Copies of this chain bind each other. A is one copy, B any other.
Amino acid sequence: MFSVSARTQYAIRAMAHLARLEGKSATAADIASAQGIPLKYLEGILSRLKLSGLVESERGKNGGYRMQGRAQDVSMLAIVEAMDGSVKPVSCVDSAASCAQGRACLPRKFWIGLKSAIDAYLNEHSLKDIVEGDQV
């Protein structure tokens, strides 16, 4: 229950890899072989990370990916959301209008609270905590 996708776990490893390079860039192939991630799958992951502004890329020869910003400024929430979208225990959690049960939905506040609890935890932790290992 509440399991995290392989994609997100890969993304965290990829970001941790880039974080350790301190601004230098790495190619997708570098990351894939170092982290044991299927290259073609990783490409899709890096593409999403780029869309969310967490990495920037350069193509052509000598191209690669570079982390944006400092590790302590990259929240785990940002990485998770870049992969699988925002936390939504129920699909209608952030728009009451789309609630099937409408005004009569008793668990609504409960779900909103759950989302808040998860978001808060993910937002309190940064890539730095991961890279440094036992900060959590």
Report which A residues bind B (CB closer than 8 A): 1-4, 9, 12, 16, 76, 80-81, 83-91, 106-107, 109-114, 117-118, 120-122, 125, 129-131, 133-136
Mostly helix, strand, loop or mixed at chain A's interface?
A: helix
* Closest chain B residue to A86, Cβ basis: B1
Residues in B neighbouring A135, C-beta threshold 8 A = 109
Residue contact A2 to B89, C-beta cutoff 8 Å = yes
Residue contact A88 to B121, C-beta cutoff 8 Å = no
Residue contact B89 to A4, C-beta cutoff 8 Å = yes
A131 to B105, CA, bound (A): 10
6 A–B pairs (Cβ distance < 8 Å), ordered by A: A1-B86, A3-B88, A12-B107, A16-B106, A109-B134, A109-B136
Residue contact A110 to B89, C-beta cutoff 8 Å = no
Residues in B neighbouring A112, C-beta threshold 8 A = 136
Residue contact B110 to A76, C-beta cutoff 8 Å = yes
A83 to B76, CA, bound (A): 28
